[in-house]
Amino acid sequence: MTMVSKEEILVYCVNSVEQRIKEVTFAIKDADDALANDTKSSAGDKYETSREMVQQDINRYQKQLVIANNDLDVLKKIDLNYKSQRVALGSLVQTDLGIYFISISIGLAKLDTQNVFVISPQSPIGQILIGKTIGDKIIFNAKTQVILDIL
């Protein structure tokens, strides 16, 4: 079985983050419109509470947008031609139990017929994998895995 390429996984990740950016941007615009169209009612406290709740939504969306843009920046820094003997940012790691792409936290990605775990170096499994080489054993969730290949 041919392993999915780093290029395919990176395209999947970029598309996923760009979609998230579009959704959050739309949500911010929608909330801004709701805030602008909210008219003051005679019940002042209710009006202020409603505006505050919308503002909290906007603040939450803005934080999500910052995170998504940071994720996109990380993906843009990945050099697909860089090959390392050790697991690093941008590595595609094959173990006897799974395939991991070290980049950003997306989770399980289903590409073609393969499942790839897209993880950040800061994730618990990412922290264990970073710096390891082919043949090294890792233990995660009480399961031992052997690194078979690093691309």
pLDDT digit string, tens, across residues 104-120 = 999 999 998 899 999 99
Among 51, 77, 103, residue at a domain's last position: 77
Main-chain dihedrals φ then ψ at residue 69, nearest 5 degrees: -65, -35
Asked if the structure places residue 84 within a domain, the reply is no
Please choose, from the candidates 84, 78, 66, 110, the residue with its C-alpha nearest in 3D space to the C-alpha of residue 14: 78
Same domain, 67 and 22: yes
Query: What's the residue count for the chain?
Result: 151
Among 38, 54, 77, residue at a domain's last position: 77
Same domain, 27 and 71: yes
Please choose, from the candidates 115, 111, 100, the residue with its C-alpha nearest in 3D space to the C-alpha of residue 145: 100
Asked if the structure places residue 86 within a domain, the reply is no
Residues 6+ apart with CB under 8 A from 67: none
For the whole prediction, is pTM greater than 0.75? Answer: yes
CA–CA separation, 4 and 60 (whole Å): 35
**Range of the structural domain that residue 40 is part of:** 6-77
Q: For residues 18 and 126, is the Cβ–Cβ distance under 8 A?
A: no
With tokens 């080489």, the residue in question is: 133
Q: What pLDDT does 14 receive?
A: 98
The 10s digit of each residue's pLDDT in 7-55 is 999 999 999 999 999 999 999 999 988 878 765 554 555 657 778 888 8
